[in-house]
Amino acid sequence: MPHTDAAAVALARHGDSDAFRVLVERHSRAVYRLAHRMTGSPQDAEDVVQETFLKAYRQLGRFESRANFGTWLHRIAVNCSIDLIRGRRHQEAGHDAADLDTLGSADDNRVDPSPERLMLSAQVQERVSRAMDGLTPMERAAFVLRHFEGQSIDEISRALGLKANAAKHSIFRAVRKMRLALEPFVES
Amino acid sequence: MTTNLHLHDDDLVLHYYGELPAPEDARAESHLSACQACQTNYAKLQRLMAFVDSAPAVEAPPGFERVVWARLEPELHQTRRGWTSWVRLSPAYLALAAGVVVLVGAAFVAGRLLPRSGAGGPAPQSAEKVRERILLVDLGEHLDRSQMVLVELVSANNESGSVDISTERARAEQLVAANRLYRHTAVSTGDAAMATLLDDLERVLVDVAASPATVSQADLDSVRRRIDSKELLFKVRVVSSQVRERQKAAIQERTKQSTLGS
C-alpha cells in the first residue's frame, strides 16, 4: 500500500486501481462530511462522493504532484455538490418563500428524543441539522461555503452563479433562519 | 449603516465574517465598543455561530469506503479501459458485459418489432417508448437478481451461530452500481414509486456489500429486519412481476402493430 497520497496518485495515474482504492479509502469520509453539509441528504452526499472520485480519476493527469490531494479533491467535491444543487435550483421556487415565522413552530412539532439518551454533541448536531434543513438548497450552499469553507462572498457568487448581492442575501436569509431555529437552545 | 443608528443584523453578519469594507468595518467596531444593545446582539450572533461550529459533521455509515469502491470500480474500468481489454475482465465485469448484451439484444428485438415507417403503416413508436422497453428488459433482470439475493439472505442457514454471506455480498456489490443507475433513471423520469423501491433496495444492498464475509446471527437478523420492515422482498416481487407484464404488453403491442402494418 502506498504510504503517501502522492505515491498513490502516481501509481493510479498508470492504471493501478488498487492505488486509487487507497485514495478512496483515505478520503471518502471527508468528502462525505462536506457533501452532507452542502446537500443535507445522505443519498445526495453518497452521489456527490461517487461523482467526486469519478471526476478525480478522470482528471488525475491534471493533478500537480506537489499539490495536496485532499485539498484538490475537496475542491472537486464542492463543485460536484454545487452542480447537484444547481440542477435542482428550480425546486427553490416556492420553497424560498418559506415563512420564517413558521420555522420555529414546525421544529416544535417534531418528536424530541429524550435528552438523557443523547450525548450533548449528538443533540447539537441534530439541532443544527434540523435548522439547516429549513434552508433552501441555495441558502444552504451559500451558508456552508461562507461559514464552514471560509469562502468570500465574491467566491461564493462565482461558484453558485449568482450576483454578489444575491449571494450575500442568501447568507443573510440563512443566518436569520438559523437564528430563529436555534436561538431558543443557544440562549436557554 | 451609520455610527449613530444601531447596526443592522445583516451588517453584524458581514462584520462577523470580515466581509465589510475596511472603512465600514472600522465604524462598526467603533459603534460596537460604544453601544450596549449592539454588543448584546453581536454576542448573540457569536454564540449562535459557536453553537453551529460545535455541531459535529454527519459521518458516513460504517463500511462506507467499501461501498464507495463497489460502486466506483466498474465505472473506473469503463473510463480507463478500451474495448480490447475486455477479454481480461473479471466475472463482475463479465456480468456487466452480459448486461450490455441484454440491452443490445433488447434493442435489436425492439427494433425488429418496430413497424417500418412508410405509407399506410402505423405511426412509428417514439424513441422514448423504445428506450422504455429496453429499460424494462434490463430492470426486470436486475429485480430478479436482487430478489434472489434477498431470498438467500432471508433463508440463510445459521445453525453454527455465524453465517457465511460472502456469495450474497459479492452479488450485492455487483448490483449496487446498477441499482444506482436505475434509481437515477426512475427519478429523472418522475417514477417516484420505482425510485422509492430502488432506494430502499439500494440501502439493503449497500449494507450487505459493506458487511464482512461472515456475519453473526444478530447481524443477519438486523438485515432481515430491514428487509421485513420495508416489506422489501414482497415489493420487489410485485414490481418485478409488474415490469414483466409491462414488458409483455409492450411486445404484444408491437407485434399487433407490426401485423397491422404488414
Please give the full DSSP string across B74-126, using - where no structure is assigned: HHHHHHH--GGGGGG--HHHHHHHHHHHHHHHHHHHHHHHSPPPSTTSPPPPP
Compute the count of residue pairs across chains A and B with CB atoms less than 8 Å apart: 110
Contact at 8 Å (CB) between A19 and A4?
A: no
Is a pLDDT exceeding 90 seen at residue B121?
no
Q: Is the ipTM of this complex over 0.85?
A: no
pLDDT-derived band of residue B137, with 50, 70 and 90 as boundaries?
confident
DSSP-derived 3-state class of residue A89: helix
Query: Is the overall model pTM greater than 0.80, yes or no?
Result: no
Contact at 8 Å (CB) between B20 and B11?
A: yes
| pLDDT: which is higher, B95 or B37 | B37
Q: Quick check: A36 contacting B, CB < 8 Å?
A: yes
Asked whether the beta carbons of residue A32 and residue B60 sit closer than 8 angstroms, the reply is yes
Q: Which of A33-47, A160-174, B39-53, B134-148 has the weakest average pLDDT?
A: B134-148
Q: Quick check: A127 contacting B, CB < 8 Å?
A: yes
Q: Determine the distance from the C-alpha atom of residue B179 to the mean position of all C-alpha atoms in its chain, rounded to a whole number.
A: 7
Minimum CA–CA partner of A15 in chain B: B80
What is the pLDDT, as a whole number, of residue A176? 97
Is a pLDDT exceeding 60 seen at residue B110?
no
Q: Quick check: A176 contacting B, CB < 8 Å?
A: yes
Is a pLDDT exceeding 60 seen at residue B12?
yes
Measure the CA angle with vertex B52, ends B46 and A111; round to 5°. 125
Q: Quick check: B24 contacting A, CB < 8 Å?
A: no
pLDDT-derived band of residue B96, with 50, 70 and 90 as boundaries?
low
What is the pLDDT, as a whole number, of residue B91? 52
What is the pLDDT, as a whole number, of residue B98? 55
Which residue bears the cell 464542492? Answer: A78
Q: If you average pLDDT over each of A34-43, B167-176, B230-239, B243-252, which comes out highest?
A: A34-43
Asked whether the beta carbons of residue B47 and residue A37 sit closer than 8 angstroms, the reply is no
Asked whether the beta carbons of residue B51 and residue A175 sit closer than 8 angstroms, the reply is no
What is the pLDDT, as a whole number, of residue B127? 59
- Ranges of residues in chain A with a pLDDT under 70 are 89-120
**Mean of all residue pLDDT scores within chain A:** 83
Where b means 16+ CB within 10 Å and e means fewer, A5-22 reads: beebbbbbeeeebebbbb
What is the pLDDT, as a whole number, of residue A51? 95
Is a pLDDT exceeding 60 seen at residue B99?
no
Asked whether the beta carbons of residue A50 and residue B59 sit closer than 8 angstroms, the reply is no
Residues of A in contact with B43 (CB under 8 A): none
Residues of B in contact with A171 (CB under 8 A): 13, 17
Helices (H), A41-68: 42-58
Per-residue pLDDT of B154-192, as tens digits, reads 887 766 678 888 888 888 888 887 888 788 778 877 788
Contact at 8 Å (CB) between B123 and B177?
A: no
Asked whether the beta carbons of residue A28 and residue B51 sit closer than 8 angstroms, the reply is no
Which residue bears the cell 471527508? Answer: A30
Asked whether the beta carbons of residue B59 and residue A32 sit closer than 8 angstroms, the reply is yes
Tell me whether residue A94 is exposed, middle or buried, using C-beta atoms within 10 angstroms of its C-beta: 0 to 12, 13 to 18, 19 or more: exposed
Q: Determine the distance from the C-alpha atom of residue B77 to the mean position of all C-alpha atoms in its chain, rounded to a whole number.
A: 20
* Rounded distance between C-alpha atoms, residue B193 and residue B197, angstroms: 6
Is a pLDDT exceeding 90 seen at residue B7?
yes
Neighbours of B105 (CB within 10 A): 13
Q: Quick check: A27 contacting B, CB < 8 Å?
A: no
What is the least distance, in Å, from the CA of A66 to any CA of chain B? 24
What is the pLDDT, as a whole number, of residue A39? 93
